[in-house]
Amino acid sequence: MSISDYQTQFDPPSTPITATAYSVNKLKNPSNGDITLNTIPIYLQVVADATFASGGATTLVVTLETASDEAFTSPVTLMTTATIAKASLVNGYEIINQIVPHGAKKYLRVKYTVGTGPFTAGSVTARLMSNSGSRTNYPQ
């Protein structure tokens, strides 16, 4: 069983991604330390909620960034996906589901880099979870 709630969501269900952008929410680490030093691993999970579409060969790269300030003056990349082709981005496709590596600072955000874009359709849910279990979205 995985644990996830609104306070661990970078992007709530059905957040549209059409061009390069950052997550709707920045998450603040309440302990002001590296969240990955806990005994329970923390996973980043990003899932396509709706099939992506575009007029060309659009791609997506998802990056988890961290910074010591909320303005992300000097962001540091913690993890990044390979370039994902539009054809792979179908409803239910798990874009990333991996343990957040050591080095997280006070703030975290997700960056979506759209290449050869824009997308004309497609959406995601992005969140931190206590394990890599399956996802079920419930109404807020």
If you write DSSP's letter for every residue of 51-68 in order, what string do you get? EEE-SS--EEEEEEEEES
**Burial bucket for residue 113 (CB in 10 Å: 0-12, 13-18, 19+):** middle
pLDDT digits (tens, 9 = 90+) for 73-118: 999 999 999 999 999 999 999 999 999 988 888 899 999 999 998 9
pLDDT digits (tens, 9 = 90+) for 19-55: 999 999 999 886 666 666 566 788 999 999 999 999 9
Q: What is the mean pLDDT of residues 54-82?
A: 96
Where along the chain do its domains lie?
6-129
CATH code, residues 6-129: 2.60.120.1110
